[in-house]
A and B are shown apart, each in its own frame.
Chain A
Amino acid sequence: MSNEIILDVRNDLREKKDPFKKIIQTVKSLKKDEVFILHSTIKPTPLFTIMKARGYKHHVEKIGHEHYVTRFTKTSSGFFGLFSKKEKENKLPATEEEPLLNEEEPLLNEEEQVAFFLDNRGLQPPQPMVRTMKRLELLKQNEILTIHNDRVPVFLLEELKEQGIDYTVDNLEDGSAKVHLKKL
């Protein structure tokens, strides 16, 4: 049985302090066989990439209201395994420098990257549009992506005209809109 190192950053998050430094310091002090357990109020998604690059896999569990427990365990491949394809080595320190926005999820989670429906409601502009554009990049010919936005995405529609993407719009009762996008 390996040792467990536990860090609870829930108070920092509640007080709107950035717990990133604390976390990274703890991570740096980890020994090879130690398991890192993080308690947080949000799903610590931004951390996953960084930890993956350091050779940790993660397992998240929501155990209560605003209480997530994430278990990071060391795997073998580590940093080079993740970036060997195209990223340069020095990319990683750059990511570390960036202050993490506490409640900022990455644009598209793994599921959404291949999904055909994106719920963009309740997101601050320009997130809905950037998410949609990201997903459209991966969309194959004749596939249809449906997005649900708080309002008709005028600037997106403008962009689509230039990109050769066909769309139809459903205006819903509550003022929101569903747009169906088809790559031609």
Chain B
Amino acid sequence: MQNNIQQSLAPKSSDQFILPFSFIITSFFALVIFSVSLVISPDAFLPAKVRQGPGLSLAHLFILGWASMLAMGAIYQLIAVVTQQAIYSQKLGFLHFGFYSIGVIGLYISLGNFYLPGMITFGLCTVIGVSLFLFNVLATIHSCKIKNSVISATFSSLSYLGLTVVSGLLMVLNFRFSFMGELHSTLLILHLWFGLLGWFLFLIIGYSFKMLPMFYLSHGYSEKYQKWILLFLHLAIWISILGFSVKYSILFPLSIGFVCGALWLFVLQIQEIKKKRFKKNPGKGIAFFVFLVYFTASVCSVAFLISLINAPFVFSQLLSSLLFFYMFGFVSLSILAYLSKIIPFLWWTFRYGNQVGREETPSLATMIDEAVIQRKLWLIFFSLLLFIGGFFIGTPNVSFATSILFSFSIIFYLVSIIKAFTV
């Protein structure tokens, strides 16, 4: 009933954007808080300290508050396009937003001080939020008759998100009741792999199956690699989890091998899309994302080769830097790069969608300067490489300088994105 009233008051086309925007704008705040906190405690991510309070709370703020928050907003927006039907319930979406944002902010504060009652309370809020999200989107997918690899990737991604939450929750409970004993480190690996590889990689690659053809304007390309990419990713996750639980180290290179395989097949898939494109230039942000895929595939291949020779070295010395690059480089930069297309599109439709044709409307090009976007993305990329390099040098002054540069480059980029809202 209330929904009907709202719909008759506001035109439907702009109403549906409020939910994605709530997530997107909140995620921007989280990213700014993250950047500022990183300057305050630049050593939080040093491999020796990352599992202590500040490192944990910053990692969760970045992953839950920024990357996941934004991804959820993007899913609410895109699921309608992919499944050709509206989200199961807008109201549930806002409820999810409420629980989730309170949970994430609370977790950030209580993890920093390792305050257990807070961790449990806000952890629960986060879990409720995520569960509402999972239910809402899975219900949408369930009633959708279309079956394709984008939907299958979304489904896998959401399932892994669910598993991430369950394993995270078990860890928190174990802090309180210590019932898991030695299993705790295995649980940590599960939590990391489900979250980082499962939730994010499936989402980024799966949504790229849809978004890249949109921006390249490609039609009729071969989709033959898509199912193999998804299969390889599943294998990579489960093989490495198996490897960790039975302590059988040969499985570890095999797992990296499958991630490599998936990434290179993704490169081939991008080539297929490019073959049938109508548009030469998909936009600088998208071109940067494609570069990032190549780069990440190359880094992963190097790690794979080293792991064949000396697997323990990769695991003990390189893994934290690799994961760091993956999360702060691949995942976060992919999202930032896509934003340069998504934000102008969403804001334009929200603000001008009803006026177009009647009044003069600004073009997308005036909302965002692609050349600036490109320069700033490169700045973040190189700052990140320096920041990771700083880990190996390990001097406090170097860490301080590189973390300031990295934080600054993120905020500097964000300013250009937020500027689109002022048009």
Contact = CB atoms under 8 A, between A and B. Distances in A.
B323 interface: no
B278 A99 contact: no
B219 A152 contact: no
Nearest to A98: B222
Interface string B353-372: 11011100001110000000
A171 B11 contact: yes
A167 B356 CA distance: 10
A124 B354 contact: no
A101 B223 contact: yes
A112 B139 CA distance: 36
Contacts of A151: 13, 349, 353
Contacts of A107: 219-220
Interface in A99-134: 99, 101, 104, 106-107, 122, 124-127, 129-130, 133
Contacts of B81: 124-125
A124 B224 contact: no
A99 B223 CA distance: 8
Contacts of A104: 220
Contact of A126 (B82, B218, B353): B218
A175 B12 contact: yes
Given A133-B217, A157-B356, A171 B13 contact: yes
Nearest to A101: B223
Interface string A157-182: 11001000001111100110001000
A138 B252 CA distance: 56
A154 B345 contact: yes
Interface of B: 11-13, 81-82, 84, 147, 210, 213-214, 217-220, 222-224, 278, 345, 348-349, 353-354, 356-358, 363-365
A64 B224 CA distance: 32
Contacts of A16: 147
A122 B81 CA distance: 10
Contacts of B11: 171, 175
A99 B364 contact: no
B151 to A, nearest CB: 11
A32 to B, nearest CB: 32
Contacts of A171: 11, 13, 353-354, 356-357
Nearest to A180: B357
Contacts of A122: 84
A168 B355 CA distance: 11
A140 B354 CA distance: 29
Nearest to A131: B219
Q: Can you list the 7 inter-chain pairs with the closest CB atoms, starting with the nearest?
A: A169-B357, A175-B12, A130-B219, A168-B357, A126-B214, A169-B356, A152-B353
Nearest to A121: B84
13 contacts: A125-B210, A126-B213, A127-B219, A130-B218, A151-B349, A151-B353, A155-B364, A158-B363, A161-B363, A171-B11, A171-B353, A174-B12, A175-B11
A132 B258 CA distance: 40
Interface in A135-158: 151-152, 154-155, 157-158
Contacts of B214: 125-126, 155
Contacts of A179: 357
Given A125-B214, A171-B356, A175-B13, 4 more contacts: A99-B222, A155-B214, A158-B364, A175-B12
Contact of A130 (B210, B217, B348): B217
A98 B276 CA distance: 12
A87 to B, nearest CB: 16
Contact of A124 (B84, B217, B357): B84
